[in-house]
Amino acid sequence: AQSVTQLDSHVSVSEGTPVLLRCNYSSSYSPSLFWYVQHPNKGLQLLLKYTSAATLVKGINGFEAEFKKSETSFHLTKPSAHMSDAAEYFCVVSGDRGSTLGRLYFGRGTQLTVWP
């Protein structure tokens, strides 16, 4: 069965410092993994996705994530936080077999706060 665990429910950083949002996944096969961002009172926007090509995936707004199969991790990083990055971030795994194919399984979310 597919699942993701976001290791931190809240992360706080100062503007201009690095961001690290941690995610571990569980999947029987080679997973497809996504990071979505949700700004307050908005819908979800895709940041990036991993689909078994390059293990380092670059997304929008300077975010990137590295797929590490040995660690079953897909952590999201950004070198320098901006105030506009304050939002909730979801790590997501896609089902890849049978009745789960194409269905998304969400982590519980990490709330990112950026201090000036």
Partner 1 sequence: NAGVTQTPKFQVLKTGQSMTLQCAQDMNHNSMYWYRQDPGMGLRLIYYSASEGTTDKGEVPNGYNVSRLNKREFSLRLESAAPSQTSVYFCASSQKGTSGFSSTDTQYFGPGTRLTVL
Scan residues 87-116 and list those touching partner 1 (CB under 8 A). Answer: 90, 94-96, 101-104, 106-109
34 versus 85: smaller Cβ distance to partner 1: 34
Q: What's the chain look like in SS3?
A: CCEEEECCCEEEEECCCCEEECEEEECCCCCEEEEEEECCCCCEEEEEEECCCCCEEECHHHCEEEEECCCCEEEEEECCCCHHHCEEEEEEEECCCHHHCCCEEECCCEEEEEEC
Q: In the stretch 51-90, what mask flags binding to partner 1 with x, by CB under 8 A?
A: x--------------------------------------x
Structure tokens at 79: 């070198």
Shortest distance, CB of residue 68 to partner 1, whole angstroms?
19
Residue whose CB is less far from partner 1, 43 or 116: 43
Out of 20, 46, 54, 83, the only residue in the binding site for partner 1 (CB under 8 A) is 46
Q: Which is nearer to partner 1, 15 or 100 (CB)?
A: 100
> How far apart are the C-alpha atoms of 80 and 14, rounded to whole Å?
9
Which residues are near partner 1 by CB under 8 A? 9, 31-32, 34, 36, 41-46, 49, 51, 90, 94-96, 101-104, 106-109
